[in-house]
Structure 1
Amino acid sequence: MFYDKAKIFVKAGDGGNGCVAFRREKYVPDGGPWGGDGGRGGSVVLIADEGLRTLVDFRYHSHYKAGRGQHGMGKNMHGRSGEDLRLRVPVGTLVRDADTGRKIADLVQNGQEAVVAGGGRGGRGNVRFVTLNNKAPKMAEKGEPGEECWLQLELKLLADVGLVGFPNAGKSTIISRVSAARPKIADYPFTTLVPNLGVVRIDGDRSFVMADIPGLIEGAHAGAGLGHEFLRHTERTRILVHVLDMAGTEGRDPLQDFEIINREIKLYDPRLAARPMVVAANKTDLPEARANLERLERELAGKFEIYPVSAITGQGLDKLLFRLADMLEQIPPDTGEEVEEEPEVLHQAAPRFTIQRDGGAFMVEGREIERHLAMTDVQNEEAMERLQRIMAVMGIDNALRRAGAREGDTVRIKNYEFEFVE
């Protein structure tokens, strides 16, 4: 089964906790701290693999988690880092944050990698907290939680040439004739329900990838037929071949078909309409095609190159393929990178934290303070004193006072509640 969309949840490994330990060796009185650091959590990495053609595996298994870091140990031994989780995806996979829509990665080259969830760093052992005033700290950091998020994977096939046109125009027959692809072919609309890829070899040493893009009808840009599902696969092609049924076997006018499909492509993405396009006037072996071909040549003279072909007999296909190969030599490969308009950015530093009133409590939010809290052992008195010093240095205490916090008020950070003390 072909799938070109998938939604998955990824969770990087948490860092290992730091260790609280002291030297307990014979003949070493008053041994100092000796707790090691925790190991770093594993990251989740996506790797583009040219051997894959679909996202089907991610439809049946949607949750992925990397290994966590090992906890630190006594004798200043550090914990082992967690193993990265490396997931293979097809070349041409676009990765977005499912909640915000932000593009994370566009994997367009074989072997290209992208870290989509970073592992948490390991907590520091008590050796790291020795000061002149505290020679034997009894605290250590907990491991930092690994990143987690929902991802939207979207596959856009990488092909040099894309065949577009109405259903039953002969796209599948052409690709089966010129390559080793064997798509389903029958005499009814929407026979092709998935894009088909085929490698076309000519001249012995020249070759290119051709894609049969199904599902285009009037209204395709708005999702009619299979338009929304498969128009995206035209985005990475360098040349579009518009396949027309010149015999009008479906009762349609080929010139009108040409205008409709081109309009749909332009409405979907104007950049696609600017791509080089040639016309494959198919089914010219049928007597009904002669008059339509003459009309087409008059209407499109000087605008598009027209190649009369017959997918059934193979007539004219060689000439079309040689011309496509010559054109591809003049067109640079598409990097596949999407050009997205970035919002205007004002060079103003984002606040380190925010404070909001929630009923009788004060909500403190911010990535930095939430990370410090996650790495603090709230059951350890020394660790909590350190967290309070961090909050004071960050200016949270003063900000709470300005927000109206008084002695005994509740301060909430994530899932933890504290009492405000002057």
Structure 2
Amino acid sequence: MNSSTPLAERLRPENLDALVGQKHLTGKASILRTAIEAGKVPSMILWGPPGVGKTTIANIIAHTLNVPYYQLSAISSGVKEVREVLDNAKKQVGAILFIDEIHRFNKGQQDALLGAVEKGVITLIGATTENPSFEVNSALLSRAQVYVLKPLTDVDLRELLQVAIKQDIYLQKLNIELKETEALINISGGDARKLLNLLELTASSNSSKGGEIIITNDLVIKTAQQKIALYDKKGEQHYDIISAFIKSMRGSDPNAAVYYLARMIEGGEDVKFIARRMVIFASEDIGNANANALLLANATFEAVNKIGYPEARIILSQCAVYLASSVKSNASYVAINNALAFVKQTGDLPVPLHLRNAPTKLMKNLGYHKGYEYAHDYEHNFAGQEYLPEEISGTKFYEPGKNAREEETRKYLRTLWKEKYGY
């Protein structure tokens, strides 16, 4: 490895003794260490937060057992890549396949692994930040042991920083004093990979001045603000980018929408989260101005769940471009908000008797359903009857938007209701 290799990769341990944290799994006499030392590890799912050692443990297992090792990312790999690995593994003995973010594989992609796991063609190690009970097929889950990794403690993270300064051949050349660690730990969010790379960035960015590099909270924050654009799926960037994505589509700019979509995809955003927001957008911001928008957005949600990354990016892009380029209306969104506010103000007004169900004789005697006019018995399927409670008769909640489709709706409603609702 050279200096262009990230610090987190340069420091990745090759044995369990060098691993920081996860002692409940890898400490002396622990279940995973015992299996590794016996040379027989089961297929497994490693479940835990980002940057706590899932990939490292998989690497240690492969290195300790000295077996063929394949690594795929569910974000960028599909069934084709999985099958290529399985074809190669059939010619080898004891091959390990590590799949990062395995929860992003759809059912078809996960099913492609079943036979090979059952027959022992590969030992599968899947890594996930999501609860495997919900995100991994039950058939695959039943064939794997689930190991839960714990968040790294502040003590673990400080130990990792000291290890980096003392052991990395490039950081050793710099005169580094680790005076404060709070900013390093807080900004990295407990992710060891981010922690080490931020340490290296801070040190290298200030090494040109010569002399001792004193790592303080202020120095780390200043460096991070200048050089880092982190996409944190649970942090501020997560909300900023999705907000920019929605506002770009609302502003009818497909170019900006695709840009922010790419930012989310590149950052590993959950495909379901992106698609779900587009379904909401189709109804909230387009509505009946173009009813096909909701149909396409819903079809997109279904499709990307079946397809998964990387191909899902194409479907997401098609939908985002369509929504951004569509005529807009928030009339239905405003209508329900108006109605909800009105209900809160007026309470439970009585439903007119002629609109009530009358399943019993008593209800019929009380006048339930009496006088109800069945719309289809009238010309143009319209009876012109009162449907709102008497106290709010004539109240308008829905105001059609100023677009071709809803102007047709306005004209039709005006023909039916005349001046009653002011259409």
TM range (shorter): under 0.3
Between Structure 1 and Structure 2, the one with more strand by share is 1
Q: TM-score, normalised by structure 1?
A: 0.20
Q: TM-score, normalised by structure 2?
A: 0.20
